[in-house]
Chain A
Amino acid sequence: MDRRTLRAFRRSPSGLIGLAVVVLFLAIAAADLRLAPHPPGKVSGDAARLAPAAGRWFGTDDLGRDMLSRVVAGARISLSIGVLSVALAVLAGVPLGLIAGYFGGIPDLLISRAVDVVLAFPGILLAMALIFVLGPSTANLALAVAAVNLPAYVRQVRAETLSLREMEFVAASRALGASSGHLLFRVLLPNCLSPILVLATLGIGTAILEAAALGFVGLGIEAGTPEWGTMLAENRALFREAPWTVIAPGAAVSLTVLGFNLLGDGLRDSLDPRGKRG
């Protein structure tokens, strides 16, 4: 990121708020259980459904487990899944997009058609089918969410590559005898980085939402894990008598996703000088 971009980003209040929220949740995830006042899985029958109060800031759930501790523990799980799945999607999607855009022809046809098929499924449904087949686990959850979001990266990088391919500096590198690998990863890739960065930032938010949705329909990680979506599902029946048991994890998901969305929007505005700013 160059100076001009940084300056533009510093002038975007929503981007800065997003950055602050993201950093806050990353810090919570990093500190993990040191911030949790109680062990997140500790069941205590005489402390069931306690309303929020001093010492029990977010109250307790049906089994007397401390909600604050569970939400804190969930930050690490949800953020890991978000970051991991986006990393997987970028690692697989970017080379595919570069290849499709640069070589064209049959590779492009095969890759683009495969992308069309994946996009023919409503995202969450494809992820559900994948986890149904693979079985629920953190790795499979990240894998399923990555698979669903892969097409976005392929399409974006392909489109960028298509227009970059025709530019003079690419032709110059080719004339100098650069290999395809050098052209793809040393010449074209660095010029696609800004849109990838924006897409990945927004993508982490989407991934966290999708992972929570999968947890909510019972396709998350093992039951009882303090994953935000799973917590919402477990406490669904309690939302009238003990609303704090759903508000705490629900607000955590919403805030984290909002943070990534604000940050992504801010990055897009500052990276794209042509972008229309409101």
Chain B
Amino acid sequence: MLSYVIRRLAVAVPTLLAVALLCFLLVHLMPGDPAQAIAGEKATARDVEKVRKQFGLDRPLALQFVEYLRKAVLEGDLGRSWRTRQPVGSELRRTMPATIELATAAMLLATLIGVGAGVLAAVRRGRWWDQVTMIGALAGVSVPVFFLGMLLLMAFGRIFPGGGRTDPAALYELPTQFVLLDALLARRWDMLRDGLAHLVLPACALGTIPMAIIARMTRAALLEVLGKDFVRTARAKGLAEQVVVLRHALRNALIPVLTTVGLQFGSLLAGAVLTETVFGWPGIGSYVVDAIARRDVIALQGGILVIATVFVLINLTVDCLYAVADPRIRLG
């Protein structure tokens, strides 16, 4: 097991280095002078020179990269946004909890409904429920998440508030930056209700694609297992169909489903970029889109680095969990 984890880590580390290199190069690949790009379009020649010195842009690229890595890894220093003049690292730490909260809610929703719908579709294979679920699943991956968000706001915008994480008039204290967690810790049920109401629509929008993929995966995996001999044996023993499906078949079908769940969690971060824009959700996705609109390259660089790193780490965790669940992988 340990050797498997070490092998996976050995691949993940160079990958992370390459990710960091690409993010680092972002500034240098921009057409024109990187110092000018960081200082902004309206900067004077003196400002540009100051930036060049301050960021060490007059030094060789390799040295600059080493310095970038050292600061990012050891000090969590990702540079300063030229627009807000704030350290990007602390801005990202402030926006990250909102994204984690949204992504977790979306994933919970997607897993619960996706697995449920997939099981029902497999059990009723070929019948109308199966057809409806599979058509729904295909439609789910075909609708752009930002369009779905707008449709949800049109349909349910009167019932659920659509914008931000809480009522803007209410000033809650957020020691952990997680609205729901803080509400629970402080036993503020009004705050919990407020937070949940704001979370429903964006989580539905963001959860739709993984839900569709999980439903398809669950159905396919369960259908395969239901054809196996041990299921026939279980049925032959006279077990109730429910027990056969839920206790014997579903358990064995869950391994590929769990992998799918893990991998989808990573891609949720990308979907969050679009969902957050529609719902004015103040997370890392909104931060990145805002950085693009203002051509704030340092902020964009930091945002992409953090999202890609989290993405790699989640995939690594999923791989390791997969190995725990399935001995064929760690031994193979």
Which residues of B lie under 8 Å from residue A195 when comparing CB positions?
none
Which residues of A lie under 8 Å from residue B26 when comparing CB positions?
129, 132-133
Query: Is A278 an interface residue when CB atoms closer than 8 A count as contact?
Result: yes
Q: Using CB atoms, name the residue of chain A closest to B293.
A: A218
Contacting A120 at CB < 8 Å: which of B18, B30, B146?
B18
Query: Is A229 an interface residue when CB atoms closer than 8 A count as contact?
Result: yes
A179–B144 CA distance with the chains assembled, in angstroms: 46
Chain B: interface secondary structure? helix
In the bound complex, do residue B142 and residue A217 qualify as a contact, i.e. CB atoms below 8 Å apart?
no
In the bound complex, do residue B147 and residue A254 qualify as a contact, i.e. CB atoms below 8 Å apart?
yes
In the bound complex, do residue A125 and residue B308 qualify as a contact, i.e. CB atoms below 8 Å apart?
yes
Query: Is B70 an interface residue when CB atoms closer than 8 A count as contact?
Result: no
In the bound complex, do residue B270 and residue A125 qualify as a contact, i.e. CB atoms below 8 Å apart?
yes
Contacting A278 at CB < 8 Å: which of B125, B144, B151, B274?
B125
Which residues of A lie under 8 Å from residue B31 when comparing CB positions?
133, 135
Query: Is B107 an interface residue when CB atoms closer than 8 A count as contact?
Result: no
Query: Is A98 an interface residue when CB atoms closer than 8 A count as contact?
Result: no
For residues 204 through 242 of chain A, which have their beta carbon under 8 Å from a beta carbon of chain B? 205, 209, 212-213, 216-219, 229, 232, 236, 239-240
Q: A239-B150, A239-B153, A278-B125 are in contact. Are A117 and B22 (CB under 8 A)?
A: yes
Query: Is A253 an interface residue when CB atoms closer than 8 A count as contact?
Result: yes
For residues 120 through 156 of chain B, which have their beta carbon under 8 Å from a beta carbon of chain A? 125-126, 130, 134-135, 138-139, 141-147, 150-151, 153-154
Query: Is B47 an interface residue when CB atoms closer than 8 A count as contact?
Result: no
A128–B295 CA distance with the chains assembled, in angstroms: 12
A250–B152 CA distance with the chains assembled, in angstroms: 13
Which residues of A lie under 8 Å from residue B130 when comparing CB positions?
278
Which residues of A lie under 8 Å from residue B312 when comparing CB positions?
120
Contacting B274 at CB < 8 Å: which of A132, A217, A240?
A217
A257–B308 CA distance with the chains assembled, in angstroms: 26
Which residues of A lie under 8 Å from residue B138 when comparing CB positions?
14, 258, 261-262, 265
Which residues of B lie under 8 Å from residue A265 when comparing CB positions?
138
In the bound complex, do residue A216 and residue B144 qualify as a contact, i.e. CB atoms below 8 Å apart?
yes
A243–B312 CA distance with the chains assembled, in angstroms: 39
Query: Is A122 an interface residue when CB atoms closer than 8 A count as contact?
Result: yes
Which residues of A lie under 8 Å from residue B14 when comparing CB positions?
113
Give how many A residues have a beta carbon under 8 Å from the other chain's beta carbons. Answer: 42
Shortest A267–chain B CB gap in Å is 14
Contacting A250 at CB < 8 Å: which of B147, B153, B267?
B147
Contacting B292 at CB < 8 Å: which of A132, A205, A213, A236?
A132
Contacting B311 at CB < 8 Å: which of A121, A217, A243?
A121
Shortest A248–chain B CB gap in Å is 11
In the bound complex, do residue B144 and residue A254 qualify as a contact, i.e. CB atoms below 8 Å apart?
yes
Query: Is B81 an interface residue when CB atoms closer than 8 A count as contact?
Result: no
Q: A113-B14, A213-B274 are in contact. Are A125 and B304 (CB under 8 A)?
A: yes
Interface residues as binary, A77-106 with B (CB distance below 8 Å gives 1, 0 otherwise): 000000000000000000000000000000
Interface residues as binary, B245-267 with A (CB distance below 8 Å gives 1, 0 otherwise): 00000000000000000000011
In the bound complex, do residue B144 and residue A209 qualify as a contact, i.e. CB atoms below 8 Å apart?
yes
In the bound complex, do residue A122 and residue B267 qualify as a contact, i.e. CB atoms below 8 Å apart?
yes
Shortest B189–chain A CB gap in Å is 30
A132–B30 CA distance with the chains assembled, in angstroms: 8
Which residues of A lie under 8 Å from residue B311 when comparing CB positions?
120-122
Interface residues as binary, B272-302 with A (CB distance below 8 Å gives 1, 0 otherwise): 0110011000000000110011010100100
Query: Is A246 an interface residue when CB atoms closer than 8 A count as contact?
Result: yes
Q: Using CB atoms, name the residue of chain B closest to A255.
A: B142
Shortest A119–chain B CB gap in Å is 9
Which residues of A lie under 8 Å from residue B145 when comparing CB positions?
213
Shortest A194–chain B CB gap in Å is 19
Which residues of A lie under 8 Å from residue B18 when comparing CB positions?
117, 120
Query: Is A124 an interface residue when CB atoms closer than 8 A count as contact?
Result: yes
In the bound complex, do residue A123 and residue B270 qualify as a contact, i.e. CB atoms below 8 Å apart?
yes
A135–B292 CA distance with the chains assembled, in angstroms: 11
- Which 4 A-B pairs rank lowest in CB-CB distance, beginning with the nearest? A122-B270, A250-B147, A258-B142, A257-B142
Extra contacts besides A116-B11, A123-B270 (11): CB < 8 Å = A121-B22, A121-B304, A122-B311, A124-B270, A133-B31, A217-B273, A217-B292, A258-B142, A261-B138, A261-B141, A276-B224
A–B Cβ pairs within 8 angstroms, 29 of them? A122-B266, A122-B308, A125-B304, A133-B29, A133-B31, A135-B31, A205-B142, A212-B144, A216-B277, A217-B289, A217-B292, A232-B147, A239-B153, A240-B153, A243-B154, A246-B147, A250-B150, A253-B144, A253-B147, A254-B142, A257-B143, A258-B138, A258-B139, A261-B142, A262-B138, A276-B220, A278-B134, A278-B219, A278-B223
